[in-house]
Amino acid sequence: MNCLHVYLHGHKTGALLSQGGALSFQYDPDYLRLATAAPLSFSLPLRVQPYTGPTTEAFFKNLLPPDNVRKRLGKILHLSRHNIFGFLQAIGGDCAGAVAFYPLDQPGGGQSAPAYRPLSEEESVRILGELPLRPLNLGVDAGFRISGAGAQDKLIACVSAGRISLPLYGTPSTHILKPAVAAYPDSVYNEYFCMSLARRAKLPVAASAILTLAGGHYYCTDRYDRCHEQGRSYRLHQEDFCQICGVDPENKYESEGGPGIKQCLQMIRDMRLGAAAQLTFFRSVIFNYLIGNGDAHAKNFSVLYRGAGMSLAPLYDLLSTRVYPALSAESAMKIGGEAVFNKISREHFARMADECDVRPQVVLDLLDALVAILPQLAQALAVELSRDYPSTIYAKIIAVIAEQVSRVALAR
């Protein structure tokens, strides 16, 4: 039987065991006796008995990149893409939230003092360019054990004054960097535009910027699951809605059995996040519809923990997928029973509200409020961004917004 120590906020929480590929997790008795003990997941409440089965595996699997990325990583790390335990052992030193994994011969959860390796601009560009061949830049630097979910190639690192550093030996990463995706023109500008637009629409979003290296542009976002005090970075715990609902990340889309809007909203209620969180979730669903984001699945919605408090995490991974004809023209989560964008109408939003036991007028008022401001906000933002980052992608996104608005706007 293989074993990994599981840490939460630097405290040894329990042990992850693997026997014949089957995973089990058990909280440490000393941890359970702490007055401040917090569960690893809403789906794994504190208890003496070990956890086994699909829900347990789903939580830990959701901390890793998806299957297609693990397949590439496996060639570097000599691991089968199905070996969840092996990947957590290899790259689980810095995961989403405040979870970290360490072998038994590393008591205390690794190095306590922050350790970084600064990269030159030239080296940064080279590493970012090699991500398709070496995902997450793994297998080069000793002590660089970072895991990141999501299919898009990314570098998880630290950025200060435009310079990238690799955090080593358990030092928390603070930023996520994404190079342009060749198959989807101007993806960097697309994501930055959509994130900036959401912020102007008063939605909670992670801080983001465009980082310029050797004349090239890269999308850069702050990790919202990190906080900074007295010059040091610390982890905040979080989990996405696939983890909360105990759903395998390979089934993240509703069409494959993943959580839909009704299930996510019910979890917001079960976790007692409050009425404001429910309204924010609805506004986020509406915003993703209006920009044509077909990839707003359950893993792109998360809950953030601060001590005993819980809140919806800021939005991230906002992208207008409808501007790329090769991508699906469907929403990741159905709205009122409909997934196809050009079939979703005002009535579907009312039906969605009814399915969620919410008065339809509440959701329709949120819809009307965003419909009233988003086209103008998008036009002004495009003018502003075009000064430093000219691109035709802004006009395409604006056209998508106009098309979506025309289907759901209140008839005049």
Residue 165 corresponds to which tokens in the numbers above?
């550093």
Looking up tokens 């919806």 gives 312
DSSP 244-311: HHT--GGG-SGGGT---HHHHHHHHHHTT--HHHHHHHHHHHHHHHHHT-TT--GGG-EEEEETTEEE
State which amino acid sits at residue 274.
G
Q: Is beta strand 11-19 parallel, antiparallel or unpaired with respect to 22-27?
A: antiparallel
CB 65 within 8 A of CB 76: no
Instruction: From residue 279, give the alpha-carbon distance in Å to each of 117, 290, 306, 314, 351.
Output: 42, 16, 21, 14, 16
Q: Is 354 an active-site residue? A: no
- CA count, 13 A, side-chain hemisphere, 220: 20
Determine the length of the chain. Answer: 412
| Residue 266 to residue 302: CA distance in whole angstroms | 14
| Residue 340 to residue 146: CA distance in whole angstroms | 36
State which amino acid sits at residue 51.
Y
CB 98 within 8 A of CB 236: yes
Alpha helices (H) in 62-208, listed in sequence order: 67-77, 84-91, 121-129, 187-200
State which amino acid sits at residue 368.
D
Closest CA relative to residue 351, chosen from 367, 329, 371: 367
Closest CA relative to residue 244, chosen from 96, 69, 404, 26: 96
Which member of 295, 357, 368, 388 is catalytic?
295
| Residue 13 to residue 39: CA distance in whole angstroms | 9
Burial grade of 212 (CB within 10 A; 0-12, 13-18, 19 or more): middle
Q: List Cβ<8 Å contacts ≥24 apart for 153-158.
A: 153/178, 153/179, 153/181, 154/178, 155/127, 155/128, 155/131, 156/94, 156/223, 157/119, 158/116, 158/233
Residues annotated as catalytic are 295
